[in-house]
Structure 1
Amino acid sequence: MSTELNKYSKTLTQDPTLPAAQAMLYGIGLTDEDMQKAQVGIVSTGFDGNTCNMHLNGLAQDVKKSVWASDLVGLVFNTIGVSDGISNGTAGMRYSLVSRDIIADSIEAVCGAQYYDGLVAIMGCDKNMPGALIAMGRLNRPALMVYGGTIAGGHYKGQELNIISSFEALGKKLAGTISDEDYKGIIKNSCPGAGACGGMYTANTMASAIEAMGMSLPNSSSNPAIDPSKKEECAAVGKAIHNLLKLDLKPRDIMTRKAFENAITVVMATGGSTNAVLHLIAMAKAVDVELTQDDFQKISDRIPLLADFKPSGTHLMGALHKVGGMSSVLKYLLEKGFLHGDCITVTGKTLAENVKDAPSLVFGENNVIFPVETPLKPTAHLQILYGNLAEKGSVAKITGKEGERFKGPARVFNGEFELIDGIQNGRVKSGDVVVIRYVGPKGAPGMPEMLKPTSAIMGSGLGKSVAMITDGRFSGGSHGFVIGHIVPEAFAGGLIALVEDDDLIEIDITNHSINLLVDEKTIALRRAAWKQPALNVKNGVLWKYAKQVKTAADGCVTDEE
């Protein structure tokens, strides 16, 4: 318990040798009384350019009112965002994962320079959230995150739509199975307003994981963007951050090893994105918690897949809000012994205390969450594969609908843009293993998501008959027999760089293996002839990223030796 809530900001407000700092604080309107209060930085990734973030600055103002009403000084600042939905399928997507580190660095820089005592982050799109949590871990001052909330579903001709509908419509267009009118109709109706992409894609995955970890208020991940519950959540933030300051309860007290296990468990049970592997490893590094890809496999082996969410399932995230929200899911998982209920959270209470009074899930009345006795899949969907194609690992997303084994000839593409041509000209055929390479953390650089390729394959009708492997990553909206995060990547000389068309590749999910079936002599000859290509960039943030970034197995961090 702390009686000194302003232990950082007093450096500026109370030191008589810092008159300029105090002059500026008076200049923004603070009074003598305000100068005695703790200061809370309220960071928003709000910007007008995409539906995920368009409403966040408004939520930041709601949070600011709540903070001031709790006898604290609340000061809003902004950091960047990159829209995955807009940049996917373009060279601009290389900036997406890079933005996670820019967000973390900028939040750390502002809070460090401004001496804020606490931090509230209002985040929308998927890289926003881990970026904020990495900064919180570095700063280790009382902090919590508010998720901007999920988007409502769109509708067109009786069909429920979401952002992935528009991507998959392209595949149908390439296959000639959709009219121009319906193609345009789907595009115009997929995103009806504010909120993050609607399925259990990466944004909703990370929001769910962060709530399970204890770093956001109950049901933050499932309160929809335009629902009154999101406004109510913002109104509760002031008391919550004041309590955190009073308790001196900091991110490293909350983001423990057991808290990360809770986060992974929820990702597995709800069918979350492969990106959670990258982000949770990076977040763990920020708080000095040991976490590896293999930890995900251990939890995947014992957690059933219970949630029927898109992209592989039926529902959007808004459906969870209607059946009790994330608190009800956490309560159920806790009752079944899958979670550590004694983990402390940003409410100052344990996870078990937070969910004690949540509504219990009623099975049979909804088909959003299934009971552990009749799961969608007895083990989870994320699988870590090793083999000569992935000596340091890879991440597969297998929900059970795709099968457990795939063997076929390679169809190789140096980058995703070649693949669209390959679909159009018939180069990709049923039974192929599509290989997209040189799109890793260094090779792209920036490890872009392969959402346009997976969606095009699905939309063209090849989704059930081809596999895809890549040293890039996938959107949470990707589905099918897909394996990403292959390490070492092609740019670093990984075996994926040496694959040629018609080489046989075998993927065995049961045995967690991914192998190129080519003899060692042939591989040695190819390796001798291989030369590392030049970097695709010569300056700027992508160049700096390529020079600093670690492998996907290391979470693609850029802030360690």
Structure 2
Amino acid sequence: MNSDILKQGVDRAPHRSLMKALGLTDREIEKPFVGVVNSFTEMVPGHMHLRQIADAVKAGIRENGGTPFEFSTVAVCDGLAMGHQGMHFSLASRELIADSIEVMTRAHQLDALVLIPSCDKVVPGMMMAAMRLNIPAIVVSGGPMLPGRYEGKSLTLNSAFEGVGQVVAGKKDENWLHNIEAKACPTAGSCAGMFTANSMNCLTEALGLALPGNGTIPAVYSERIILAKETGYQVMELFRKDIRPRDIVTETALKNGVALDMALGCSTNTILHLPAIANEGDIPWELRKVNEVSSKTPQICKLSPAGDYVLADLHEAGGVSAVLKQLLDNDYFDGNPLTVSGVSQAERLQEAQVLNSQVIHPMGTPYSSQGGLKVLFGNLAPEGAVIKQGALADQSMVFEGTAQVFDGEVAAADAIRNLKIKEGDVVVIRYEGPKGGPGMREMLGPTSTLAGMGLDATVALITDGRFSGASRGLSIGHVSPEAALGGEIALLQTGDKIRIDLKEGTLDWVVSNEERKSRREKYEQNQVQLENLNPELRAGYLGRYSQFVQSASRGAAFRKIK
């Protein structure tokens, strides 16, 4: 055991004394030490109930012969951070989460980990830590929020964001919006649709790092507490069998994760997080692999924001296991990888079945023959850009529009609210990438306002930043290389023509070679200095973050020090 170095031998008497100051008995000291990483915070509704989840996990650990030690990490609520300076810190918190878990685990020589995330960056941050540390580890999240109800319809957080656009467009009044605000988020849990948090929690099942049900059991169900107890119990089985994250998350498992991603129509942010997880496990990974899987994997679920169903509906329809069984039976999913259940995916999925074919379509009648996400390449994004094509009515659309260029989200959001954007425009938001932002802000405000105004199908939005999982419409993010690295997006001017071809998977700037060369020369002469972009953010953590962060095409992960 790793923890033996803390507690065995005469020279560890001082260490044991400190453990007894914690109230530990000799019997507890002799058992394996299991870290319970609880991201509880009173700031985040997805995390407000995690004390109860952690208590259940610890009960399971004790029942199966371990000694649990709970500690915390940071958690940013993307909804609360949206639309202001706080969003610079969201993606950046992912690396901080992984680092803080490494610090606590290595400093105290823990033998195993149970990871309790809920929201957007906490889930991948914890999985990155698991891959980096490679000791027995298992994930159990807080679960999704139940939907709200108003005017006979299901509501999610996105209903409030899009409601703002409807008020701006004069379609609804502020009293109506106040009622939406009061009803949209009725319980604890990660926001009810297939947004980033729930996308990543579902992917934990496909990657094999969580027990069945982790992605979909609602936060307020007692079934979630039972899952937490079973998770605590199971981590001790992983410890005894010495099953580690790198035994589970392989290149094949990552492709399985992408297959589920495509079938469900998950958030574009998963395309950032999977490469970062691969990076921590030293697994080779390229964005083009996403398209390889997407091109042949049907989308069989259409959850909010793309459709009307929410995570609670998916749970009642059979959950992630039912979707994976459909994929497995039709050769879109590899059943061989190991899982934290101690058996292969195929063995674990034997009894899974679809209980509602309206929520989980049969393979013969998918929503789309291709997956929910697509990576676009072209002269504007030679390293790639990503779109949630599953949230579009026409996935073979060709859109050519006129660029309206903004250096940062704030100016773009003001232009949209002031009705300066019209049909046929391409809103370009740059200097919002991992390095340029810094922190690669999500931009749910502009996309949801456009959707609320009814412009999401006739106005495109492209950015070197990223979008919330709640975004829909012609929204293209992660344009790489980013403007701060001299990507082509830095050369654009208002009035330029941009062409988006979804069928061919291309994103191009329609410009002559001569004009492109001239723009490049001017850019080199007048290059934007990073220290002049949001200088107030570059003195602390974000300044250090921007020095180490890589391109979005590499998952915005830190470059490794040789």
Q: Structure 2 length as normaliser, TM-score?
A: 0.96
Residue in 1 that maps onto 2:370: 379
Residue in 2 that maps onto 1:298: 292
CA apart distance, 1:198: 1.0
Q: d(CA) in 1 for partners of 2:30 and 2:207?
A: 32
Q: d(CA) in 1 for partners of 2:475 and 2:423?
A: 15
Find the residue that maps to 2:342 and give its secondary structure.
Answer: coil
Residue in 2 that maps onto 1:514: 507
Residue in 2 that maps onto 1:3: none
Quick one: which of 385, 393, 397 aligns to 1:401? 393
Quick one: which of 90, 99, 102 aligns to 1:108? 102
Quick one: which of 309, 313, 322 aligns to 2:303? 309
Matches within 5 A, 1:314-463: 314-358=308-352, 360-362=353-355, 365-399=356-390, 400-403=392-395, 404-463=397-456
Q: d(CA) in 1 for partners of 2:216 and 2:338?
A: 20
Q: d(CA) in 1 for partners of 2:476 and 2:418?
A: 24
Residue 545 of structure 1 pairs with residue 545 of structure 2:
yes
Q: d(CA) in 1 for partners of 2:455 and 2:177?
A: 19
Q: d(CA) in 1 for partners of 2:252 and 2:148?
A: 38
Q: d(CA) in 1 for partners of 2:94 and 2:52?
A: 22
Find the residue that maps to 1:149 and give its secondary structure.
Answer: coil
Q: d(CA) in 2 for partners of 1:240 and 1:275?
A: 29
Residue in 2 that maps onto 1:469: 462
Residue in 1 that maps onto 2:197: 203
Conservation of the 8 A alpha-carbon contact between 1:493 and 1:532: no
Q: d(CA) in 2 for partners of 1:511 and 1:19?
A: 67
CA apart distance, 1:402: 4.1
Quick one: which of 260, 269, 274 aligns to 2:263? 269
Find the residue that maps to 2:290 and give its secondary structure.
Answer: helix
Q: Which amino acid aligns with 1:543?
A: G
Find the residue that maps to 2:47 and give its secondary structure.
Answer: coil
Q: d(CA) in 1 for partners of 2:87 and 2:245?
A: 30
Q: d(CA) in 1 for partners of 2:174 and 2:466?
A: 30
Structure 1 regions of 5+ residues with no counterpart?
A: 1-6
Q: d(CA) in 2 for partners of 1:518 and 1:112?
A: 53
Find the residue that maps to 1:507 and give its secondary structure.
Answer: strand
Conservation of the 8 A alpha-carbon contact between 1:47 and 1:57: no
Q: Which amino acid aligns with 2:387?
A: A
Conservation of the 8 A alpha-carbon contact between 2:296 and 2:370: yes
Structure 2 regions of 5+ residues with no counterpart?
A: none
Q: Which amino acid aligns with 1:39?
A: F
CA apart distance, 1:194: 0.3
Q: Which amino acid aligns with 1:475?
A: S
Deviations 1:8-28 (A, max 9, x none): 011101132233221111111
CA apart distance, 1:208: 1.1
Q: d(CA) in 1 for partners of 2:133 and 2:424?
A: 50
Conservation of the 8 A alpha-carbon contact between 1:149 and 1:196: yes
Deviations 1:160-202 (A, max 9, x none): 1110011101111111111111111111111102000111111
Conservation of the 8 A alpha-carbon contact between 1:63 and 1:234: yes
Conservation of the 8 A alpha-carbon contact between 1:402 and 1:480: no
Root-mean-square deviation (CA), in Å? 1.2
Residue in 2 that maps onto 1:257: 251
Matches within 5 A, 1:478-493: 478-493=471-486
Conservation of the 8 A alpha-carbon contact between 1:492 and 1:532: no
CA apart distance, 1:559: 4.5
Conservation of the 8 A alpha-carbon contact between 2:56 and 2:226: no
Conservation of the 8 A alpha-carbon contact between 2:484 and 2:530: no
Q: Which amino acid aligns with 1:181?
A: N
Which sits farther off after the overlay, 153-162 or 468-477?
153-162
Find the residue that maps to 2:288 and give its secondary structure.
Answer: helix
Q: d(CA) in 2 for partners of 1:355 and 1:111?
A: 32
CA apart distance, 1:57: 2.0
Q: Report the CA distance shift for 1:559/1:57 in structure 2 as closer, same or farther (over 3 A).
A: farther
CA apart distance, 1:329: 1.6
Q: Which amino acid aligns with 1:401?
A: A
Q: d(CA) in 2 for partners of 1:246 and 1:90?
A: 47
Find the residue that maps to 2:507 and give its secondary structure.
Answer: strand
Residue in 2 that maps onto 1:136: 130
Q: d(CA) in 1 for partners of 2:417 and 2:75?
A: 33
Q: Which amino acid aligns with 1:521?
A: E
CA apart distance, 1:420: 2.3
Q: Report the CA distance shift for 1:510/1:457 in structure 2 as closer, same or farther (over 3 A).
A: same
Q: Which amino acid aligns with 1:393?
A: G
Conservation of the 8 A alpha-carbon contact between 1:413 and 1:437: yes
CA apart distance, 1:538: 3.2
Conservation of the 8 A alpha-carbon contact between 1:408 and 1:504: yes
Q: d(CA) in 2 for partners of 1:339 and 1:398?
A: 21
Q: Report the CA distance shift for 1:13/1:369 in structure 2 as closer, same or farther (over 3 A).
A: same
Q: Structure 1 length as normaliser, TM-score?
A: 0.97
Q: d(CA) in 1 for partners of 2:516 and 2:194?
A: 39
Conservation of the 8 A alpha-carbon contact between 2:89 and 2:439: yes
Conservation of the 8 A alpha-carbon contact between 2:436 and 2:530: no
Residue in 2 that maps onto 1:532: 528
Q: Which amino acid aligns with 1:499?
A: L
Q: Which amino acid aligns with 2:402?
A: P
Residue 555 of structure 1 pairs with residue 555 of structure 2:
yes
Find the residue that maps to 2:10 and give its secondary structure.
Answer: coil
Which sits farther off after the overlay, 373-382 or 398-407?
398-407
Conservation of the 8 A alpha-carbon contact between 1:398 and 1:482: no
Q: d(CA) in 2 for partners of 1:97 and 1:15?
A: 43
Q: d(CA) in 2 for partners of 1:393 and 1:341?
A: 30
